[in-house]
Amino acid sequence: MTDTGVTRRPRVGIMGGTFDPIHHGHLVAASEVAQNYDLDEVIFVPTGQPWMKTGVSSGEHRYLMTVIATAANPRFTVSRVDLERGGPTYTIDTLRDIQAERPDAQLYFISGADAIAQILEWKDHEELWKLAKFVAVSRPGHALSIRGLPEQSVSSMEVPALAISSSDCRARVNGGYPVWYLVPDGVVQYITKHHLYRGA
Ligand SMILES: Nc1ncnc2c1ncn2[C@@H]1O[C@H](COP(=O)(O)OP(=O)(O)OP(=O)(O)O)[C@@H](O)[C@H]1O
Ligand SMILES: O=C(O)c1ccc[n+]([C@@H]2O[C@H](COP(=O)([O-])O)[C@@H](O)[C@H]2O)c1
Protein backbone atom coordinates (compact mmCIF):
# COMPACT_ATOMS: atom_id res chain seq x y z
CA MET A 1 0.00 0.00 0.00
CA THR A 2 1.21 3.51 -0.71
CA ASP A 3 0.18 6.68 1.17
CA THR A 4 -2.76 7.08 -1.21
CA GLY A 5 -4.04 3.59 -0.39
CA VAL A 6 -3.47 2.42 -3.97
CA THR A 7 -1.88 -1.03 -4.19
CA ARG A 8 1.34 -0.99 -6.18
CA ARG A 9 1.49 -3.57 -8.96
CA PRO A 10 4.52 -5.88 -8.47
CA ARG A 11 7.29 -5.13 -10.98
CA VAL A 12 9.05 -8.24 -12.16
CA GLY A 13 12.12 -8.30 -14.41
CA ILE A 14 12.87 -11.22 -16.70
CA MET A 15 16.50 -11.83 -17.69
CA GLY A 16 16.35 -14.42 -20.47
CA GLY A 17 19.55 -15.97 -21.72
CA THR A 18 21.40 -19.06 -22.75
CA PHE A 19 23.78 -18.50 -19.80
CA ASP A 20 26.45 -20.87 -21.19
CA PRO A 21 27.91 -19.84 -18.77
CA ILE A 22 26.24 -17.00 -16.84
CA HIS A 23 28.76 -14.17 -16.27
CA HIS A 24 29.05 -10.82 -14.50
CA GLY A 25 27.76 -8.94 -17.57
CA HIS A 26 24.38 -10.65 -17.09
CA LEU A 27 24.34 -10.02 -13.35
CA VAL A 28 25.27 -6.35 -13.57
CA ALA A 29 22.66 -5.75 -16.29
CA ALA A 30 19.94 -7.33 -14.14
CA SER A 31 21.03 -5.46 -11.02
CA GLU A 32 21.16 -2.08 -12.78
CA VAL A 33 17.74 -2.50 -14.39
CA ALA A 34 16.28 -3.64 -11.06
CA GLN A 35 17.57 -0.48 -9.39
CA ASN A 36 16.53 1.89 -12.18
CA TYR A 37 13.02 0.48 -12.66
CA ASP A 38 12.36 -0.28 -8.97
CA LEU A 39 11.84 -3.97 -9.67
CA ASP A 40 10.78 -6.26 -6.83
CA GLU A 41 12.35 -9.32 -8.39
CA VAL A 42 14.37 -10.39 -11.42
CA ILE A 43 13.67 -13.87 -12.74
CA PHE A 44 16.56 -15.40 -14.67
CA VAL A 45 15.20 -17.72 -17.34
CA PRO A 46 17.74 -20.07 -18.97
CA THR A 47 16.67 -20.97 -22.50
CA GLY A 48 15.62 -24.48 -23.46
CA GLN A 49 16.75 -24.75 -27.07
CA PRO A 50 17.80 -21.29 -28.29
CA TRP A 51 16.89 -21.48 -32.00
CA MET A 52 19.45 -18.83 -33.02
CA LYS A 53 22.39 -20.71 -31.40
CA THR A 54 24.05 -24.10 -31.96
CA GLY A 55 26.21 -26.39 -29.81
CA VAL A 56 24.75 -25.26 -26.50
CA SER A 57 25.57 -27.06 -23.20
CA SER A 58 22.90 -29.11 -21.45
CA GLY A 59 20.04 -27.17 -19.93
CA GLU A 60 20.71 -28.69 -16.50
CA HIS A 61 24.30 -27.40 -16.43
CA ARG A 62 23.17 -23.93 -17.53
CA TYR A 63 20.30 -23.95 -15.02
CA LEU A 64 22.55 -24.97 -12.11
CA MET A 65 25.20 -22.37 -12.96
CA THR A 66 22.43 -19.75 -13.02
CA VAL A 67 21.17 -20.87 -9.60
CA ILE A 68 24.71 -20.72 -8.17
CA ALA A 69 25.33 -17.26 -9.64
CA THR A 70 22.11 -15.72 -8.36
CA ALA A 71 21.79 -17.48 -4.99
CA ALA A 72 23.17 -14.66 -2.85
CA ASN A 73 20.76 -11.99 -4.11
CA PRO A 74 17.35 -12.13 -2.39
CA ARG A 75 15.68 -10.41 -5.39
CA PHE A 76 17.08 -12.82 -7.99
CA THR A 77 15.25 -16.05 -8.76
CA VAL A 78 15.56 -18.66 -11.52
CA SER A 79 12.73 -20.14 -13.56
CA ARG A 80 12.66 -23.46 -15.44
CA VAL A 81 9.75 -22.51 -17.75
CA ASP A 82 11.85 -22.48 -20.92
CA LEU A 83 13.68 -25.69 -19.98
CA GLU A 84 10.49 -27.59 -19.22
CA ARG A 85 8.42 -26.45 -22.22
CA GLY A 86 10.45 -28.44 -24.74
CA GLY A 87 11.15 -27.47 -28.34
CA PRO A 88 12.77 -24.22 -29.47
CA THR A 89 12.58 -21.35 -26.98
CA TYR A 90 10.54 -18.32 -27.97
CA THR A 91 10.17 -15.28 -25.72
CA ILE A 92 6.47 -15.05 -26.56
CA ASP A 93 6.03 -18.38 -24.69
CA THR A 94 8.31 -17.29 -21.83
CA LEU A 95 6.23 -14.17 -21.26
CA ARG A 96 2.92 -16.06 -21.44
CA ASP A 97 4.13 -18.65 -18.92
CA ILE A 98 5.47 -16.05 -16.47
CA GLN A 99 2.34 -13.94 -16.85
CA ALA A 100 0.21 -16.99 -16.01
CA GLU A 101 2.29 -17.49 -12.85
CA ARG A 102 2.23 -13.76 -11.90
CA PRO A 103 -1.03 -12.37 -13.32
CA ASP A 104 -0.84 -9.17 -11.27
CA ALA A 105 2.76 -8.25 -12.23
CA GLN A 106 4.07 -5.69 -14.70
CA LEU A 107 6.81 -7.57 -16.55
CA TYR A 108 10.08 -6.02 -17.76
CA PHE A 109 12.09 -8.12 -20.21
CA ILE A 110 15.81 -7.25 -20.05
CA SER A 111 17.88 -7.52 -23.24
CA GLY A 112 21.40 -6.55 -24.22
CA ALA A 113 22.05 -4.28 -27.21
CA ASP A 114 22.87 -7.28 -29.43
CA ALA A 115 19.67 -9.12 -28.54
CA ILE A 116 17.36 -6.11 -28.98
CA ALA A 117 18.88 -5.49 -32.42
CA GLN A 118 17.44 -8.83 -33.55
CA ILE A 119 14.06 -8.62 -31.85
CA LEU A 120 12.10 -8.00 -35.04
CA GLU A 121 13.21 -11.53 -36.12
CA TRP A 122 11.78 -13.10 -32.96
CA LYS A 123 8.63 -15.23 -33.17
CA ASP A 124 5.40 -13.22 -33.02
CA HIS A 125 7.34 -10.06 -32.16
CA GLU A 126 4.32 -7.84 -32.71
CA GLU A 127 2.62 -9.64 -29.80
CA LEU A 128 5.55 -9.19 -27.40
CA TRP A 129 4.85 -5.53 -26.64
CA LYS A 130 1.45 -6.35 -25.10
CA LEU A 131 2.94 -8.75 -22.57
CA ALA A 132 5.93 -6.84 -21.19
CA LYS A 133 7.95 -3.69 -21.28
CA PHE A 134 11.39 -4.22 -22.83
CA VAL A 135 14.55 -2.67 -21.42
CA ALA A 136 17.55 -2.67 -23.75
CA VAL A 137 20.91 -2.29 -21.98
CA SER A 138 24.24 -1.17 -23.38
CA ARG A 139 26.93 -3.74 -24.11
CA PRO A 140 30.52 -3.12 -25.23
CA GLY A 141 30.98 -3.76 -28.95
CA HIS A 142 27.29 -3.36 -29.78
CA ALA A 143 25.47 -0.17 -30.76
CA LEU A 144 22.44 0.39 -28.54
CA SER A 145 19.45 1.40 -30.63
CA ILE A 146 15.71 1.01 -30.10
CA ARG A 147 14.77 2.99 -33.21
CA GLY A 148 11.79 1.46 -35.01
CA LEU A 149 10.50 -0.30 -31.88
CA PRO A 150 7.30 0.83 -30.12
CA GLU A 151 8.13 3.75 -27.81
CA GLN A 152 5.49 2.84 -25.22
CA SER A 153 6.99 -0.61 -24.72
CA VAL A 154 10.74 -0.28 -25.22
CA SER A 155 13.27 1.82 -23.34
CA SER A 156 17.03 1.76 -23.10
CA MET A 157 19.62 2.37 -20.42
CA GLU A 158 23.38 2.53 -20.06
CA VAL A 159 24.90 0.01 -17.66
CA PRO A 160 28.54 -0.29 -16.53
CA ALA A 161 30.47 -1.65 -19.50
CA LEU A 162 31.65 -5.20 -18.94
CA ALA A 163 33.30 -6.64 -22.04
CA ILE A 164 32.43 -10.21 -21.09
CA SER A 165 30.65 -12.78 -23.23
CA SER A 166 29.82 -16.43 -22.66
CA SER A 167 31.56 -17.35 -25.91
CA ASP A 168 34.77 -15.69 -24.72
CA CYS A 169 34.49 -17.47 -21.35
CA ARG A 170 34.10 -20.82 -23.15
CA ALA A 171 37.08 -20.07 -25.39
CA ARG A 172 39.19 -19.11 -22.40
CA VAL A 173 38.40 -22.33 -20.54
CA ASN A 174 39.11 -24.34 -23.68
CA GLY A 175 42.43 -22.57 -24.10
CA GLY A 176 43.44 -23.07 -20.46
CA TYR A 177 42.97 -19.41 -19.52
CA PRO A 178 41.24 -18.38 -16.26
CA VAL A 179 37.68 -17.12 -16.01
CA TRP A 180 38.06 -16.01 -12.39
CA TYR A 181 36.34 -12.63 -11.88
CA LEU A 182 34.57 -12.87 -15.24
CA VAL A 183 32.03 -15.31 -13.80
CA PRO A 184 31.08 -15.81 -10.12
CA ASP A 185 33.49 -17.98 -8.11
CA GLY A 186 30.95 -20.79 -7.73
CA VAL A 187 30.51 -20.90 -11.50
CA VAL A 188 34.30 -21.22 -12.00
CA GLN A 189 34.24 -24.16 -9.62
CA TYR A 190 31.20 -25.72 -11.32
CA ILE A 191 32.88 -25.45 -14.75
CA THR A 192 36.02 -27.15 -13.38
CA LYS A 193 34.13 -29.85 -11.50
CA HIS A 194 32.06 -30.82 -14.55
CA HIS A 195 34.87 -30.38 -17.11
CA LEU A 196 32.75 -27.95 -19.16
CA TYR A 197 34.06 -26.21 -22.28
CA ARG A 198 37.12 -28.43 -22.67
CA GLY A 199 37.70 -29.51 -26.25
CA ALA A 200 34.94 -27.12 -27.36
N1 LIG B 1 28.38 -8.08 -21.04
C2 LIG B 1 27.07 -7.86 -21.21
N3 LIG B 1 26.54 -6.63 -20.99
C4 LIG B 1 25.22 -6.41 -21.18
N5 LIG B 1 24.32 -7.36 -21.58
C6 LIG B 1 24.79 -8.58 -21.81
C7 LIG B 1 26.18 -8.90 -21.63
N8 LIG B 1 26.34 -10.21 -21.93
C9 LIG B 1 25.15 -10.68 -22.30
N10 LIG B 1 24.19 -9.73 -22.22
C11 LIG B 1 22.77 -9.90 -22.54
O12 LIG B 1 22.28 -10.96 -21.74
C13 LIG B 1 21.30 -11.73 -22.47
C14 LIG B 1 21.69 -13.20 -22.50
O15 LIG B 1 22.94 -13.30 -23.13
P16 LIG B 1 23.62 -14.70 -23.47
O17 LIG B 1 23.27 -15.71 -22.41
O18 LIG B 1 23.37 -15.07 -24.87
O19 LIG B 1 25.17 -14.34 -23.23
P20 LIG B 1 26.29 -13.96 -24.30
O21 LIG B 1 27.47 -13.52 -23.53
O22 LIG B 1 25.73 -13.01 -25.32
O23 LIG B 1 26.56 -15.39 -24.96
P24 LIG B 1 27.37 -15.81 -26.28
O25 LIG B 1 28.72 -15.14 -26.24
O26 LIG B 1 27.44 -17.32 -26.16
O27 LIG B 1 26.54 -15.35 -27.46
C28 LIG B 1 21.22 -11.08 -23.86
O29 LIG B 1 20.16 -10.17 -23.86
C30 LIG B 1 22.54 -10.36 -23.97
O31 LIG B 1 22.48 -9.26 -24.85
O1 LIG C 1 11.50 -15.37 -29.33
C2 LIG C 1 12.43 -15.55 -30.12
O3 LIG C 1 12.23 -15.89 -31.31
C4 LIG C 1 13.86 -15.35 -29.62
C5 LIG C 1 14.95 -15.43 -30.49
C6 LIG C 1 16.24 -15.25 -29.97
C7 LIG C 1 16.41 -15.00 -28.61
N8 LIG C 1 15.31 -14.91 -27.81
C9 LIG C 1 15.48 -14.70 -26.36
O10 LIG C 1 16.43 -13.70 -26.08
C11 LIG C 1 17.13 -14.01 -24.88
C12 LIG C 1 18.63 -13.99 -25.15
O13 LIG C 1 18.89 -15.03 -26.07
P14 LIG C 1 20.38 -15.50 -26.41
O15 LIG C 1 20.18 -16.49 -27.54
O16 LIG C 1 21.11 -14.25 -26.82
O17 LIG C 1 20.94 -16.12 -25.19
C18 LIG C 1 16.62 -15.39 -24.43
O19 LIG C 1 15.62 -15.21 -23.44
C20 LIG C 1 16.01 -15.95 -25.69
O21 LIG C 1 14.97 -16.88 -25.48
C22 LIG C 1 14.07 -15.07 -28.29
The residue whose CA has the least distance to atom 31 of ligand 1 is 112
What is the pLDDT at residue 200? 60
Q: Is 63 helix (H, G, I), strand (E, B) or coil?
A: helix
DSSP assignment of 42-58 equals: EEEEE-SEETT--SPPP
Report how far residue 133's alpha carbon sits from residue 150's, in angstroms, rounded to the nearest whole number: 10
What is the pLDDT at residue 113? 98
- Determine the number of helices (DSSP H) and then strands (DSSP E) in the chain: 8, 8
Amino acid at 157: M
What is the percent of the chain where pLDDT is above 70? 98
Strands (E), the chain: 11-17, 41-46, 49-50, 76-78, 88-89, 106-112, 133-137, 154-157
DSSP assignment of 173-200 equals: HHTT---BTTB-HHHHHHHHHTTTTTT-
**Is residue 52 lining ligand 2, measured as CB closer than 6 Å?**
yes
Interface predicted TM-score of the whole assembly (ipTM), two decimals: 0.99
The answer to whether the beta carbons of residues 158 and 138 sit under 8 Å apart is: yes
Q: 99-117: per-residue pLDDT in tens? A: 999 999 999 999 999 999 9
Which ligand 1 atom is nearest residue 18's CA? Answer: 17
What is the pLDDT at residue 191? 98
The confidence band for 3, taking pLDDT boundaries of 50, 70 and 90, is low
Q: 139-192: per-residue pLDDT in tens? A: 999 999 999 999 999 999 999 999 999 999 999 999 999 999 999 999 999 999
pTM of the model: 0.97
- The answer, yes or no, to whether residue 2 has pLDDT greater than 60, is no
What is the percent of the chain where pLDDT is above 90? 94
State the CB neighbour count (10 A cutoff) for residue 189. 12
What is the pLDDT at residue 6? 83
Distance (Å) from CA 6 to ligand 1 centroid? 37
